[in-house]
Amino acid sequence: MMSNEPGYERFLAYAVLGFLLGHAHPRRLLFVSGVIIVSATSLEALQHLTPDRHGHWFDLSEKLLGGLIGLFAAHLMCLIFTRLFAR
């Protein structure tokens, strides 16, 4: 059961995003990490344009950490599978 803390949802959503992008583009690691960083940063910055929302540095760090961990997991999985099945 998920808790009421939105930090878990942010982390998990960006971890899934990082994993899927990393799995879809395994040889473009810098590009995918740039997409994750730009999307998380721009979404947090755009929250300052509306009067009822506000972005926080901690929220940005949760998104970035989740996305980059998901990307690392996809990259690690690709490395493991290519070494196992390359024989």
What pLDDT is recorded for position 60? 94
Task: pLDDT tens for the chain, 87 residues: list them.
Answer: 556 788 889 999 999 999 999 999 999 999 999 999 999 999 999 998 888 888 889 999 999 999 999 999 999 999 999 888 876
- CA 60, CA 56: separation in Å to the nearest integer? 6
- CA 37, CA 30: separation in Å to the nearest integer? 10
Closest CA to 61 of 79, 81, 44: 44
Pair of tokens at residue 84: 């196992």
- CA 78, CA 24: separation in Å to the nearest integer? 10
What pLDDT is recorded for position 20? 97
Give the global pTM: 0.86
Question: For the chain, what are the domain ranges?
Answer: 7-85
